[in-house]
Chains A and B, each alone.
Chain A
Amino acid sequence: MEQMAEGIDPATLDRLLDLVAKEGMVEREKLKPDATFEELGIQSADMVVVLMAIEEEFGVYIPVDGDLADAETVGDFLKVLAARMKEDAA
């Protein structure tokens, strides 16, 4: 997983994956980089909940449009998050 989320330190990645598992209501072990949200059964309404949790926990407001629109897998999603969190930190 780490190689899919360059720029996110391991502790943050751990918290992020916990969040996605909890808010998306999926088992944490199933969050492999190439797992698609469709396979995981994570719907648009779940994604809204995940992004809200990220806003509350990390203070970043991430719109669903823009880079995130093309994210189909967990790996894609983490890549976008890493970029946005880096931008916010900068």
Chain B
Amino acid sequence: MTNQTRRIVVTGMGAITAAGRGVESLWTAVRDGRSGVSDIRFDRYPRQRITKAAHIKGFEPSDHLTPQQIKTTDRFAQLALVAAEEALRNAGIDTATPLGPRTGAIIGSGIGGAWTTDDGNYNFYVANDRTDLMTIAKVMPNAAASQISMRYGVRGPSLAISSACASGTQSVGYGLQMIRAGIIDAALVGGSEALLTPSTFRAWEVLRVMAPEACRPFSDKRNGMVLGEGAAVLMIEELEHALARGATPLAEIAGYGTTSDAADLLRPTVEGPAGSIAAALQDAGLAPDEIDYVNAHGTGTILNDISETRALRQVFGDRLSSLSVSSTKPIHGHALGAAGAIELVVTVEALRAQIAPPTINWLAPDPKCDLDPVPNEARAHSMSAAISNSFAFGGINATLALRAFR
């Protein structure tokens, strides 16, 4: 178990979502069941079928970034920069001093610069406007990681993990492994996604998985997911490294597991997710009985919630009935490549507060989802360990296991 000799802790977190700017806004919204979902309308797409999304309103890049940064970044990288700044400040790190070669930046994204692509295509094919000179550098999925690296002098590995809705969780997972392996001592890890553009929204509409009214995971009468956008970044460090500089660990990232279904492109299996959860527990050296809270992938689609329930049942057995399992996606939306990072922030806060946030919009039990979804109201109880799940198109499953840091 050499990989267990280096323990990795979270020392700072940042987030920007439809629930607001900052981790505090996200956590209070999630805890109190205050949804960031509202109507979204696109001028360039008048025939919308679906109108609900968790979009960030009133984000002014100039409040946070320099003119040079704004000129060279897509919205997804801008959101990541805002989250990274908060994470570093929260970690008590001087943002004026370069972080150097022993720090990495791994920021996942499912798509990358979707707005730059959408505007660029419109300008090129329709409006006959000049092409944005920075299109390529703004669109590339690693743009967020690179911008963070440039801004904070991160000179270790910087990259994007692109694995659709598992990107955020995998980015944290591989950051964990790099630190364990001794390649680096610290990393800014997380995910960012901003694809609520007219043509991308249509692309989701034709998949027919979006809820017309509300996202209600694990509930009877649920009928789909609600798209979101946002970014979350976590500063993670090897424990001794963190303690040596006087940092306060917020939680320990104890394990990571990931599997592939190797089956259907869109429809999840039970074995794949179950394998991922089991692998994370094994990596963390945690028994199923030691887990007190699950932040579920819980998209609110019929199929995800059934297979996730079955996968959890396979791993947790009878304990599942008394385990708090919630999906916070009705609050911050399904933020795709950022989802895993946003939900990991929520899970860390849940452990710190010893409160399981609720699954809101829940109406009545679905017999096929026989778990305890913490319906509609937060629940305070003692928690020493938790997991967070992300399952993606392409059949990718990823799970992180956390221990409360005491």
**Given A51-B208, A63-B209, A69-B302, A43-B222 contact (CB < 8 Å):** no
Kindly state the separation between the CA atoms of A43 and B267 in the bound complex, as whole angstroms.
Answer: 9
Closest beta carbon of chain B to A68's beta carbon, Å: 8
Asked if B223 and A66 sit within 8 Å, CB to CB, the answer is yes
Asked if B208 and A63 sit within 8 Å, CB to CB, the answer is yes
Kindly state the separation between the CA atoms of A61 and B50 in the bound complex, as whole angstroms.
Answer: 10
Asked if B212 and A69 sit within 8 Å, CB to CB, the answer is no
Main secondary structure of the interface of B (DSSP, over half): loop
User: Is B214's beta carbon under 8 Å from chain A?
Assistant: no
Asked if A63 and B265 sit within 8 Å, CB to CB, the answer is no
Which residues in A have their C-beta under 8 angstroms from that of B303?
Answer: 69
Kindly state the separation between the CA atoms of A60 and B113 in the bound complex, as whole angstroms.
Answer: 32
Kindly state the separation between the CA atoms of A34 and B188 in the bound complex, as whole angstroms.
Answer: 53
Asked if A43 and B208 sit within 8 Å, CB to CB, the answer is no
Which residues of chain B have a CB within 8 Å of any CB of chain A?
49, 205-212, 222-224, 264-267, 301-303
Asked if B301 and A65 sit within 8 Å, CB to CB, the answer is yes
Kindly state the separation between the CA atoms of A51 and B209 in the bound complex, as whole angstroms.
Answer: 12
Residue of B49, B209, B212, B222 touching A64 (CB-CB under 8 A): B209
Q: Which residue of B lies closest to A43 (CB)?
A: B264
**Given A48-B206, A48-B207, A48-B208, A65-B222 contact (CB < 8 Å):** yes
Which residues of chain A have a CB within 8 Å of any CB of chain B?
43-45, 48, 51-52, 61-66, 69-70
Closest beta carbon of chain A to B203's beta carbon, Å: 11
**Given A65-B224, A66-B223, A45-B210 contact (CB < 8 Å):** no
Asked if B209 and A43 sit within 8 Å, CB to CB, the answer is no
Which residues in A have their C-beta under 8 angstroms from that of B265?
Answer: 43-45
Which residues in B have their C-beta under 8 angstroms from that of A61?
Answer: 49, 205, 208
**Given A48-B207, A52-B206, A65-B264 contact (CB < 8 Å):** no
Which residues in B have their C-beta under 8 angstroms from that of A48?
Answer: 206-208, 266
Kindly state the separation between the CA atoms of A69 and B211 in the bound complex, as whole angstroms.
Answer: 13
Asked if B264 and A62 sit within 8 Å, CB to CB, the answer is no
A-B residue pairs in contact (CB < 8 Å), sample of 17:
A43-B265, A44-B264, A44-B265, A48-B266, A61-B49, A61-B205, A62-B208, A63-B208, A63-B223, A64-B301, A64-B302, A65-B211, A65-B223, A65-B224, A66-B223, A66-B302, A69-B303
